[in-house]
Amino acid sequence: MKALLIVECGSITIERSKSSQHQLFRVESSSGSVSYCSNCTRYCRCFNTVQKYIDPLYELWCEHNLAIFLAEIMGKTKVVYLHDDVFCRSLEMLYSKDNTSTNALVGESSK
């Protein structure tokens, strides 16, 4: 299962804006490829979608969103707070056509 492999061998980072409550999820696989996702909208640039019965409603879940769901349940997410200009670059990555970029910037970690 690809999602579990991402959780176990990769990383899930919640990137939050320092000045607002906006957040994105940075999903990095063990190979180093990075995807950005919005968990609240289940939006991901990935096209590898599968149906999983999670809620009373059927929803489309890609491996990245499923990894986010699993990581949150397992307590395996970390949080970083970013300045707005850096957060905006991450937001651009979420909506960019190139889903394989690894040039993401990471700010300082919070505890």
pLDDT digits (tens, 9 = 90+) for 33-83: 999 998 677 788 775 555 555 555 666 678 898 999 999 999 999 999 999
* Nearest alpha-carbon partner for 25 in 85, 78, 100: 78
- Contact of 30 with 10, CB cutoff 8 Å: yes
Backbone angles phi, psi at 20, to 5 degrees: -150, 180
Between the two ends of the chain, the Cα-to-Cα distance in Å is: 30
Domain range annotation of the chain: 2-95
Beta strands in 1-111 (DSSP E): 11-17, 23-28, 34-38, 43-44, 49-52, 59-62, 77-82
Cα Dmax for the chain: 39
pLDDT digits (tens, 9 = 90+) for 12-30: 999 999 998 899 999 999 9
Q: Is the pLDDT of residue 104 over 70?
A: no
Q: Given this model, what pLDDT does residue 9 score? A: 94
* Nearest alpha-carbon partner for 99 in 69, 63, 53, 59: 63
Q: Is the pLDDT of residue 105 over 80?
A: no
Please provide the size of the chain in residues. Answer: 111
